[in-house]
Chain A
């Protein structure tokens, strides 16, 4: 939240990775998950990260979001360099500056929808901004479901709660890990619509990992990863365009995206 970013939101960078590498194991069994990746995520932009199984797209997101450690390079969220942060500071950073939407297990079953939405603020011990909260809740259309438990909500409604939670604390950037992976196409479209609206209307920055070309088509920009490197980039994508580019990636297999989603989890 520097004066520069306030002055010119469209060009400011919300998060940036520079020469980011992530290497598992040593010697023979060494696996390079990320290979000197450099990328910047512009403010008020919806970015989709795509790539085949094992391309490193999830690892990239986890490293940039401060969920995972990296081997070399640097990651910045706003002005903060993540590499030098201890666990406690990282936790605080995630709490205050970052919002998350996961594929599943997004909500605590013991809390009501509203309590789930305000959870990050509760953890921080902050009072939510009432007006902003109302705006967010109205946007995702949950006003009449606030006292319900997750088990009383449909999958799409649950994911809308997760979107509202990510938005409610006005983070610098929201990361989504296959946010529509467990939803039917209609609910998925709804959730993606909310994410895009939050970018267009509220100036929110969103980065999501997805395997679905239709989901990627909602983004302002699609980044393609393969073998731990950025291999392609598309602005203003359509589903067909994305599908076409995917087909040309090394190891790409766009015909069977479902397997990509389910099989590549550990």
Chain B
């Protein structure tokens, strides 16, 4: 008796541990996702945040709307306005600020940080209160700069060093005269900030004599609104706008929130999915646990416990298990969240930097999932157990798992899936952004539907694996039958893997397809060997093209010069290109007429032609930025792509009307095509400028692809979590199954199945379940990838679905590895079962 009791306790210990583990994993999955996503969005948010400590009221130029043939513009904020602002009675001081892109090279000659994070500004006077100096003195003239302390530390620069930098093209080599500290969020997030004296900054940023903003600080005792009223009275109201610092901060918070909302939503969907999966694992485990204890509960009933007492005892146990597991899960989740980030860092995946964010929401969800879900999951089967008449439960030799009808479940699942597929399909026919919301809704519906339907799907899908399993003889046959024996359990086990693989496959398919289409676009439309542009996407100085023209081996160049113009009272963008060489550099499919640019002859893309009702040969009048008008003729209509579109005109025609020509890009064709040597010589011709990028077609499409890489990396991180959860889920299910079927296994051993055969049987069952989840996930993922591609690709002529077979193969292999790993322990346990113990009926 003692031995039996002891064995019971140890069996319970294992079962209890398993339950705690399952709950813990559910919680860890949820809290890990939340920590990861919160930290990520926090870091992204910080990146664009700016301090407003030094601004009580900001004076900015007021946009003057386009009118008639005049293009819209900002009036200039002059030095006089700064002085007038400083002169109002409530103002303590007024600082005119100038900002712009400033690329600064590290000691290796490479740009520090990403292009868009490299900022420049002006240092006001001898002592700018915004930027306290930690070392050195204020800069004077173009030859002197200040850099922020973070950048100084990162690049190893100190006062007195000469650095290579660039603002709009030419390379400068100023001396660092000082280092300052700043609360600028961009710097905190890994960007750089370079300061010049005000005059140099204005000159370099192409705004001589004007400012971007006037930051006015109030005297002590003067409120923001008071100061604002004074400023509005003193300054010309048709030129400036005033905003208080508080408003600025609010506006900024709003703007950041708006720009983050898409990402946040995406991350929330992940968190929701993780919650869903976590809940399911917990519910599943507890159902099994209580079902196994039916006899014990019935015994309690037999010796006089009321139904309520039985239910309550189950609930108390669930509460304790839930609380313990929630704490452990939260800790594990934080660890997973932190680990994921450093893993991403180690793998060189681009991730914004920032502190680990553990919000109260994360802690709250951890406990809600851990305790509430566990108790709920225990309550339903506990109630069912309490309802069983004591005698019936006691006398039942071994409680057969009740196979409740799946009809209701299947109907529900079918409805959900059908609705999901219908909504997704409908969304693919919509236009880009309109289709996003329905697409997301459809995807959620379909995932839930398939999730509900997994038990039904398990039979045909696993049956399809029959021929392969037959190779393994009896073990394979039994494994197949065991895996469909309890479809609900198999489904629940496979679902964690399914969801993980759905996400990852969908994203991979879409990213791969987009990459391919961008590659194709670059390959088909661009004949130029190199594209030269600024690292931050700002315009290049026209000098750049001149320098490139003179470089050795260059056979043709053309700028892509942007200019505003008015046509029929609408603002339209003209792209100035070199009409003589453009045909050598690009190859656009021509829909109508001929691709001929020169003089007053221009080409337009299909969209433009359609909106104005133009055909080849149509004539129209354009009003340039300087107000002059000219009659132009459409020589041809071409098919636009993501890289280039709009009205293309010869620079010779355009230039006389532009005071500040802005080249977005310069295309270069060389005699030798692309090679490292050619690239080097082009870079040298530009003075090895850190601000200018020389890219070939592949570089260009890689850069476009970079934006999905970030998302893809995040999804891979989440997949890693889903895989861990899946492994434990499979172990759990198999251990339960082995426990339940110990008599069968004993019988099999007795009639001659050896240990190897038993092990193989359990392993194959595990493999079948994992691959089942994997195949479902791949299928769903491909469908979502296709659908999302249809949505995005509708706007891209060259979009084409690319199935990443190799990656998909790897994912499936991963699912198989999960299966094999998860089976290690349960298979050993099954093989070591004592035959006699197993055969003897209890």
Could you list which residues of chain A lie within 8 angstroms of chain B, going by C-beta atoms? 62, 67-68, 87-88, 91-92, 94-96, 99-100, 102-106, 108-111, 119-120, 122-125, 165, 177, 265-266
Contact = CB atoms under 8 A, between A and B. Distances in A.
Contacts of A125: 473
Nearest to A65: B750
A120 B751 contact: yes
Given A87-B755, A265-B841, A67 B747 contact: no
Given A62-B836, A106-B747, A123 B753 contact: yes
Nearest to B755: A87
A104 B397 contact: yes
A187 B575 CA distance: 96
Nearest to B397: A104
Interface in B785-842: 835-836, 839-842
A95 B751 contact: yes
Contacts of A110: 478, 481-482, 485
Interface in B399-453: none
A108 B4 contact: no
Nearest to A166: B751
B842 A265 contact: yes
24 contacts: A67-B750, A67-B839, A87-B755, A88-B754, A91-B753, A91-B755, A92-B754, A95-B752, A96-B752, A100-B751, A102-B839, A105-B744, A105-B746, A108-B481, A110-B481, A110-B482, A122-B477, A123-B752, A125-B473, A165-B751, A265-B840, A265-B841, A265-B842, A266-B4
Given A67-B836, A103-B841, A265-B842, A108 B478 contact: yes
A68 B753 contact: no
Contacts of B842: 265-266
B754 A91 contact: yes
Interface of B: 4, 397, 473-474, 477-478, 481-482, 485, 743-744, 746-755, 757, 835-836, 839-842
A58 B765 CA distance: 33
A125 B475 CA distance: 11
Nearest to B744: A108
B483 to A, nearest CB: 10
B723 to A, nearest CB: 29
Contacts of B473: 122-123, 125
Nearest to A175: B750
Given A110-B482, A119-B474, A91 B744 contact: no
A67 B835 contact: yes
A63 B318 CA distance: 44
Nearest to A59: B836
A95 B755 CA distance: 13
Nearest to B398: A105
A120 B840 contact: no
A54 B481 CA distance: 38
A92 B152 CA distance: 76
A124 B750 contact: no
Contacts of B749: 91
B757 to A, nearest CB: 7
Contacts of A105: 743-744, 746-747, 839, 841
Contacts of A96: 752
Instruction: Count chain B CB atoms within 10 A of each CB in A91, A120, A177 and give the residue with the most.
Output: A91
Contacts of B753: 91, 95, 123
A59 to B, nearest CB: 9
Contact of B757 (A87, A100, A120, A123): A123
A95 B746 CA distance: 13
A119 B750 CA distance: 12
Contacts of A62: 836
A123 B751 contact: yes
B501 to A, nearest CB: 28
Contacts of B485: 109-110
Given A105-B743, A119-B748, A122-B473, 17 more contacts: A68-B836, A87-B754, A87-B755, A91-B752, A95-B751, A100-B750, A102-B750, A105-B747, A105-B839, A108-B481, A108-B747, A109-B744, A120-B751, A122-B474, A123-B752, A123-B753, A266-B840
A109 B748 CA distance: 12
A183 to B, nearest CB: 13
Given A110-B478, A111-B481, A119 B841 contact: no
A119 B477 CA distance: 11
Q: Which 10 A-B pairs have CB atoms at the shortest separation, nearest pair first? A: A95-B752, A110-B481, A91-B754, A105-B743, A122-B474, A104-B841, A123-B474, A94-B752, A123-B753, A120-B751
Contacts of A111: 481
B752 A120 contact: yes
